Copies of this chain bind each other. A is one copy, B any other.
């Protein structure tokens, strides 16, 4: 398997974990989901992300899901696997296992007890030592991790650690951070910047110098289109499409509740068989379902209008 590199671009969809109504793994839906993401134009997949439901899996289940996805992808696109854990020994063990299974790289979020610039840089030095030459994605998501990485911190990690090939950019607000990293001479090595937050700022992020998205949304084709039109020099067309999906994207970005919405949308679209969330995790209510249905109806109408 080829490794993840600084050239990563496009849309790395953060995969959901499909469950059966009783909470068991739904591996058939997992296959169908992989097919769907790739047909939609995903240039990569990211599994076992920090949010989502990966933390609800047992270690054995995590391995099963990763292997199933890797087998179905069959090398067509790179697969990044989240390996964040409280200890470096665990990160090392997980990283070795998934790279052996065929992953293209790993993603590491900072543990919540890191505060100062030096503490953050030092942690990634240690992590990089433990995972050896495995390429890794630096996850910058303060709202979820509580860890705030300044631009100088990210620069130091890029300069010091060649394994850091990609930044999953999910600070909010974070546009100025992209501009600072992309400024002339900011860093001696250009790494990939893929953005999160459900794509809610993707048009501006692309214009600031991002290479694409690494996040989830019930309609990943929106992100694929925004990235494609940006690269094709037709960003306004991309924004028209973005605007059409925005009412739903906004609705799906509600913290916590959003995952139930995303699974409901994927189930409604026939991608996964059940919208089930594993416990603890609240199901979508009737009222929310009706709101989503209405937003989708309006979205389809608007998409037709803009052709």
- Which residues of B lie under 8 Å from residue A55 when comparing CB positions? 85-87, 90
B-contact bits for A235-263, CB 8 A (1 contact / 0 none): 01001001100110011001111100000
A61 at the B interface (CB under 8 A)? yes
- Which residues of B lie under 8 Å from residue A23 when comparing CB positions? 89
Copies in the complex: 4
Flag if A279 contacts B126 (CB, 8 Å).
Answer: yes
A293 at the B interface (CB under 8 A)? no
Q: Name the contact of A257 in the complex, choosing from B90, B173, B254 (C-beta under 8 A).
A: B173
A280 at the B interface (CB under 8 A)? yes
Tally of A interface residues using CB under 8 Å: 65
B-contact bits for A120-155, CB 8 A (1 contact / 0 none): 001100100010000000000010000011101100
A57 at the B interface (CB under 8 A)? yes
Q: Which of A3-11, A39-47, A110-118, A161-169 contacts B (4 or more CB under 8 A)?
A: A110-118
Flag if A172 contacts B254 (CB, 8 Å).
Answer: yes
A153 CA / B153 CA spacing, docked (Å): 14
A204 at the B interface (CB under 8 A)? yes
A20 at the B interface (CB under 8 A)? no
A115 CA / B53 CA spacing, docked (Å): 20
- Which residues of B lie under 8 Å from residue A123 when comparing CB positions? 280
Give the secondary structure class of A's interface: helix
- Which residues of B lie under 8 Å from residue A204 when comparing CB positions? 251, 291
Flag if B90 contacts A57 (CB, 8 Å).
Answer: yes
- Which residues of B lie under 8 Å from residue A255 when comparing CB positions? 172-173
- Which residues of B lie under 8 Å from residue A279 when comparing CB positions? 88, 126, 130
Flag if B287 contacts A89 (CB, 8 Å).
Answer: no
Q: Name the contact of A153 in the complex, choosing from B116, B242, B258 (C-beta under 8 A).
A: B116
A119 CA / B204 CA spacing, docked (Å): 24
A27 at the B interface (CB under 8 A)? no
A93 CA / B204 CA spacing, docked (Å): 40
Give the interface of A toward B (CB within 8 A): 23, 53, 55-61, 85-90, 93, 111, 113, 115-119, 122-123, 126, 130, 142, 148-150, 152-153, 172-173, 175-176, 179, 200-201, 204, 207-208, 236, 239, 242-243, 246-247, 250-251, 254-258, 278-280, 285, 287-288, 291, 298, 302
